[in-house]
Amino acid sequence: MSEEKTPAPGLIPERIREALRAAVAALGAPEEFDPQVTPTADARFGDYQSNTAMVLAKVMKRNPRELAAALVGSVEVAGLCEPPEIAGPGFLNFRVTGEAYAARLAALLADPRLGVPAVAEPKTIVIDFSAPNVAKPMHVGHIRSTIIGDSLARVARFLGHRVITDNHIGDWGTQFGMIIHGWKSELDATALEADPIHELLRVYKSVNARAKADAAVMEACKDELVKLQAGDAENLAIWKRAVDLSLAGLGGMYARLDVRFDHFNGESFYNARLAPLVDDLIEKGIARESEGAVCVFSDGSVPPEEDPFLSQRDGEWGANPCIVRKADGGFLYSTSDLATIDFRLSEWKADEIWYVVGAPQQLHFRQIFAVSRMRGIEAAMTHIPHGSILGEDRKLMKTRSGENVQLADVLTEAVERARAVLEEKNPTLEASEKVAIAEVVGIGAVKYAELSQHRMTDYVFSWEKMLALQGNTAPYLQYAYVRTRSIFRKLEDAVVFADDEVFVIAEPAERTMVAKLCQFGEVVPDILNDHKPNILTNYLYELATTFHSFFEACPVLRSEGVTRRTRLALCEATSRVLRQGLDLLGIRVTERM
Ligand code: ARG
């Protein structure tokens, strides 16, 4: 397949824009004027619309309907659209021709990227997500960061960026005083062997409770922490064991979730870099001593409402510094995050760093980004926040006994429930197949429930909803995929489409189907505009419902000739887009269900 033979045709709205650019230039529009084209909400108004005439009328002080009429006469979209129509105050409506859609369908099938353009300027993007705290194990709240971060990484990679995923685990902190004290006083070696994460959590909780009730225990924990930070060999060895065991446990969970990290550079990785960093901040006059601690204060460069180093108390703006060294000499979460930025820029040459971390840490990130700017760092750093997961009572999700819900338990229950649904709907499947399918459906359901929400929404975790076979759920989409595959299993020979095969789009349902398929290339890049995977879930849900309508309206196997070829091509393209789209969400498919 040579490049000349099948030039990857641009996205349809881009081609309309190109034509509009030429047309407005001929009308004397200012050079920087850029026409916009959007999908129409209602198929009666065609497939795409543009407000160009109205916007340009303002700029050029002319009548919008007159400009629209001039554009209709001059915009060159022949071969792509019917002649555009004017609607309302001067909208231009474009209706893509059946031939153009048929050609796009052939191009889509010939394109491994399924019509999604690669970015013109690939960037190196570090994505910081998941990042649970060792010994305070990953609970269901961490699921949001893990699942959203993984999906954004998949999308950015697919678009051609160089993505580096880094799990900034909390493996250094005050909790280790308690862990070490508990390790020495009450560790159950057998339980540790059997389920390390569980036993470490038990120890942490037990010591935490004892320390609250007994000041002497609290003191003992503090002593252990001081010894650890001073490099005591025994305590360092215990810390190392605890971290390694936790990482091994996390590894199992990430494997089950099909989430990969390029690096696990946790907080401890930066220990040696913290003291020099603080010295440098002092030397450059960015940080200064205050009551024994070292802090960064406001430099007054932005209005108080935008200043992360000020906060309002009783109507007065007061200092809200970023502390980088405590009076006792200890370093903080902020200090290691600043050192982390340096490392990612110098070692990995990051152009951008994305932090997928819950909304409560907003101020923390505003502060460290501002300190970085003071240090002359220009790389784009973005906090991508998310809300919480609620229980059916609309409070933060907890177990019956009021504990944090463990992610591992959620996954196990999801797979068990998926298995029960399968038993009911398709009892004839073989046992081993049921096990494999239940895993794909159960994990997929949990991920999709997350990704189909706007990330800032606090959403209610509901097993019934996420596992429903109808509605905007993973099982519904996975089932749509199964349906597309079952068509091809009924055929004797494998269907192969030529790169330049001529299809014919005739029925309205075929048209709606192909139009939806062509939008995949528009939707995927849009996800990164505001880091919202729910743009993709919405699209895939529409794609699946469109497919079901198409399949009902247009018999495939009973049709003939070019109609049959076209319909098979629509099924095949739907199958590939569903599979690729779900893969960008980190969700797998099965051939049967
Ligand atoms: N360990 C932190 C927590 O659980 C999240 C770390 C996020 N990443 C970062 N670079 N600060 O709250």
Residue 6 reports pLDDT greater than 50: no
Average pLDDT over residues 84-106: 95
Residue 2 reports pLDDT greater than 70: no
Both tokens of 556, joined, read 């495939």
Residue 12 reports pLDDT greater than 60: yes
Enumerate residues lining ligand 1, CB below 6 A.
128, 131-133, 168, 170, 337, 340, 355, 357
Average pLDDT over residues 264-290: 97
**Distance between the two ends of the chain, CA-based, in angstroms?**
36
Residue 97 reports pLDDT greater than 60: yes
Measured in Å, residue 471 CA sits from the centre of ligand 1 at 34
Mutate to test the pocket of ligand 1, among 338, 357, 362, 404 (most ligand atoms within 8 A of CB): 357
Is residue 137 very low, low, confident or very high in pLDDT (cuts 50, 70, 90)? Answer: low
The DSSP secondary-structure symbol of 394 reads S
Tens of pLDDT along 317-366?
999 999 999 998 989 999 999 999 999 999 999 999 999 999 999 999 99
- In whole numbers, what is the pLDDT of the chain averaged over residues? 94
The predicted structure's pLDDT at residue 397: 83
Look at phi and psi of residue 83 and say left if phi exceeds 0, alpha if psi is from -120 to 50, else beta: beta
Measured in Å, residue 128 CA sits from the centre of ligand 1 at 8
CA distance 138 to 363: 22
| Ranges of H-type helices in 426-560 | 431-451, 463-467, 474-489, 508-518, 520-527, 534-553
Measured in Å, residue 357 CA sits from the centre of ligand 1 at 7
- Domains defined for the chain, CATH in brackets: 12-96 (3.30.1360.70), 175-257 (no CATH), 407-584 (1.10.730.10)
Tens of pLDDT along 51-69?
999 999 999 999 999 999 9
Average pLDDT over residues 204-233: 94
Measured in Å, residue 127 CA sits from the centre of ligand 1 at 12
CA distance 64 to 51: 10
* Atom number of ligand 1 nearest to Cα 142: 4
Residue 519 reports pLDDT greater than 50: yes
Average pLDDT over residues 162-174: 95
Are residues 115 and 488 in contact, defined by beta-carbon separation less than 8 angstroms? no
The predicted structure's pLDDT at residue 173: 85
The rounded Cα 209 to chain-centroid distance in angstroms is 37
Tokens 């501002």 label which residue?
Answer: 370
Residue 1 reports pLDDT greater than 50: no
How many CB atoms are closer than 10 A to CB 527? 23
How many CB atoms are closer than 10 A to CB 255? 10
Is residue 9 very low, low, confident or very high in pLDDT (cuts 50, 70, 90)? Answer: low
Closest CA to 397 of 488, 491, 461: 461
Average pLDDT over residues 457-468: 92
> pTM for the whole thing?
0.94
Average pLDDT over residues 102-117: 95
